[in-house]
Chain A
Amino acid sequence: DVKVTQSSRYLVKRTGEKVFLECVQDMDHENMFWYRQDPGLGLRLIYFSYDVKMKEKGDIPEGYSVSREKKERFSLILESASTNQTSMYLCASSLPPGYEQYFGPGTRLTVT
């Protein structure tokens, strides 16, 4: 079974803090994704990565950066957290694009 894990289920941070969200997959997938989910806005793609050290912006990259130093790990970084980044963050991985995606359990981030 493919397993995608995320470092925290719930996280509370203060405005201005630097926040790291970690995602690890155990199936040697090439592609990894970060999404955020907000009521009324659905799921939106923040960044994706198709190989180690490779990344591409998604639909809403502003205020975020990512890091992929190892194939199995994809990190989302909020350089200076703001209240409008309070959201559910979901990580996913897949084989080549268009193949089946597998999601982690999600991190509910609250920025106060």
Chain B
Amino acid sequence: GIQVEQSPPDLILQEGANSTLRCNFSDSVNNLQWFHQNPWGQLINLFYIPSGTKQNGRLSATTVATERYSLLYISSSQTTDSGVYFCITGGFKTIFGAGTRLFVKA
């Protein structure tokens, strides 16, 4: 089955810094989502992005399906961006990446 790898596994940023999170998948996919899991465990939808580029405020995402990767950009990071970022793909059998744990220092 499809494997999803996320990098880096851990990231520490100073408030205001920019960052790029990456999601690689082992085979072609026709759907991809990015989530942020906050410290209370809630999974918050960031982007549904099977291909192309989307932007929402300080966050943007790009998926290059032909090259089997997706990137999540966080600009001007804030302490509230801390948490774990997941990418997922799949139909009924959802496949999760292991996540990138982000900590933003004040």
| Inter-chain contact A106/B91, CB cutoff 8 Å | no
Distance between Cα atoms of A65 and B31 in the complex (Å) = 28
Closest to B29 in A: A98
Interface membership of B88, Cβ < 8 A:
yes
Size of chain B's interface in residues, with CB distance under 8 A?
20
Expressed in whole angstroms, the Cα–Cα distance for A49 and B59 within the complex equals 32
Interface SS, A side: strand
Among A45, A56, A102, A108, contact of B94 (Cβ-Cβ < 8 Å): A45
Q: How many A-B residue pairs have CB under 8 A?
A: 49
B41 cross-chain contacts in A, Cβ below 8 A:
37, 88, 90, 105-106, 108
A108 to B99, CA, bound (A): 20
- Does B48 reach chain A (CB closer than 8 Å)? yes
Give the residue name and chain of the B residue nearest to A106 (CB). B41
Please judge, given known A-B contacts A42-B96, A42-B98, whether A106 and B48 are in contact too, CB under 8 Å.
Answer: no
- Smallest CB-CB separation from B42: which chain A residue? A105
Are A98's CB and B33's CB within 8 A? no
Task: Say yes or no: is A43 at the interface (Cβ < 8 Å to chain B).
Answer: yes
Q: Nearest chain B CB to A56's CB is how many angstroms away?
A: 7
Docked complex Cα distance between A92 and B94 (Å): 11
A37 to B37, CA, bound (A): 12
Closest 4 A/B residue pairs (Cβ): A97-B91, A103-B43, A100-B48, A98-B31
